[in-house]
């Protein structure tokens, strides 16, 4: 296996239930270092739960979850702190602190690490806002921003600490086509610029096709199929065919 194919994250025979509702019966998936993998699946299949397992917001019932070869499945909240410095998450809502300015929102994870001077933090905040196409808005409040701008500020905060991996939870939900494309282009440019590993959860098939190296389909408590995007849409897997046919518009490559 070449270095580019080395798994940064591995889910190995993970099981998870919330009361009587079983989410995963046998979840197995490798996410390779430096790739962007997009996870598709119907509502309630557990896509966002995978993201939360990786940063310790949810605990697996059984199985292994490896980050760079280390099993984190049984970690305490304190043990997860260094993992959260390596893996950042863009939450679906942006999850900004409304009482803080945009600049302080982006600076928040930098101040938590307590290893940067205020001058260094100010420079990093300005640079990251520039990366997401929002220069000079540090003094604004989240309430002054559009939905697309909030997502981009959330992304600036996610990349502020130079993570090795970024988790995107429905990054284009609720956005108009122009902002949807802008966020997709940002995912691509950040992957290229920072060489991060990315895991994207989305229902947006055009965006998934645009940003991904590989795509995976979650159904019936397991990964039904995981393939390079050129092969993914041609897979005969029934869960994938049913998902695509249920979408309102044609998916890239899927209905040719």
pLDDT in tens, 192-206: 888 999 999 988 888
- Residue 142: which domain range? 3-246
Does residue 255 sit within a domain? no
In a domain? residue 123: yes
**Quick check: is 18 in a domain?**
yes
> Which two three-digit tokens encode residue 30?
């490798």
Query: Would you say residue 44 lies in a domain?
Result: yes
Structure tokens at 183: 């966020």
User: Among candidates 112, 193, 115, 125, which has minimal Cα distance to 156?
Assistant: 125
**HEC sequence for 20-81:** CEEEEEEEEEEEECCCEEEEECCCCCCHHHHHHHHCCCCCCCEEEEEECCEECCCCCCCCCH
Q: Is residue 98 part of a domain?
A: yes
User: pLDDT by residue (tens digit) across 195-244?
Assistant: 999 999 988 888 898 999 999 999 999 999 999 988 988 899 888 888 88
Residue 220 lies in a domain: yes
Output the domain CATH number for residue 12.
3.40.50.300
Q: Give the burial string for 188-221 (b: 16+ CB within 10 Å, else e).
A: eebbeeeebbbbbbbbbbbbbbbbbebbbbbbeb
pLDDT digits (tens, 9 = 90+) for 100-151: 999 999 999 899 887 889 999 999 999 999 999 999 999 999 999 988 899 9
> What phi-psi label fits residue 78: left (phi over 0), alpha (psi between -120 and 50 degrees) or beta?
alpha
pTM attached to this predicted model: 0.89
Strand, coil or helix: what is 167?
strand
Is 21's pLDDT higher than 80? yes
Please give the pLDDT value at position 256.
45
Backbone φ and ψ of 228, nearest 5° = -55, 150
- Bridge partners, 9 (sequence order): 31, 67
In a domain, 253, yes or no: no
Structure tokens at 48: 């966002």
pLDDT in tens, 153-177: 999 999 998 999 999 999 988 888 8
* Beta pairing, strands 87-90 & 197-201: unpaired
Indicate whether 211 belongs to any domain: yes
Total domains in the chain come to 1
Phi–psi pair at 178, nearest 5 degrees: -65, -45
Nearest by Cα to 138 from 105, 102, 111: 102
Q: With contact defined as beta carbons under 8 Å apart, do 197 and 32 qualify? A: yes
- Distance from first CA to last CA of the chain, Å, rounded? 33
Q: How confident is the model at residue 4 (pLDDT cuts 50, 70, 90)?
A: low
pLDDT one-digit tens code per residue, 37-75: 999 988 888 999 999 999 999 999 999 999 999 999 989
């Amino acid at each position: 296996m070449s270095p580019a194919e080395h798994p940064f994250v591995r889910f190995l025979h993970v099981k998870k239930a919330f009361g009587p509702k079983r989410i995963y019966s046998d979840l197995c998936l490798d996410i390779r270092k430096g790739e962007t993998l997009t996870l598709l699946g119907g509502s309630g299949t557990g896509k966002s739960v995978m993201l939360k397992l990786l940063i310790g917001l949810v605990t697996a019932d059984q199985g292994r979850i490896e980050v760079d070869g280390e099993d984190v499945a049984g970690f305490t909240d304190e043990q997860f702190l260094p993992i959260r410095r390596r893996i950042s998450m863009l939450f679906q809502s942006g999850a900004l602190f409304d009482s803080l300015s945009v600049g302080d929102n982006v600076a928040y994870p930098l101040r938590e690490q307590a290893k940067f001077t205020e001058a260094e933090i100010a420079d990093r905040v300005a640079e990251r806002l520039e990366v997401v196409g929002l220069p000079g808005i540090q003094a604004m409040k989240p309430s002054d921003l559009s939905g697309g701008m909030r997502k981009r500020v959330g992304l600036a905060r996610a990349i502020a600490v130079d993570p090795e991996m970024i988790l995107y939870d429905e990054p284009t939900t609720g956005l108009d086509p122009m902002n949807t494309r802008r966020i997709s282009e940002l995912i691509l440019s950040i992957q290229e610029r920072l060489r991060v590993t990315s895991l994207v959860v989305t229902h947006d098939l055009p965006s998934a096709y645009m940003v991904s190296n590989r795509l995976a389909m979650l159904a019936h408590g397991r990964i039904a199929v995981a393939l390079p995007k050129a092969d993914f849409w041609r897979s005969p897997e029934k869960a994938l065919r049913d998902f695509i046919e249920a979408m309102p518009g044609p998916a890239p490559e899927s209905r040719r």
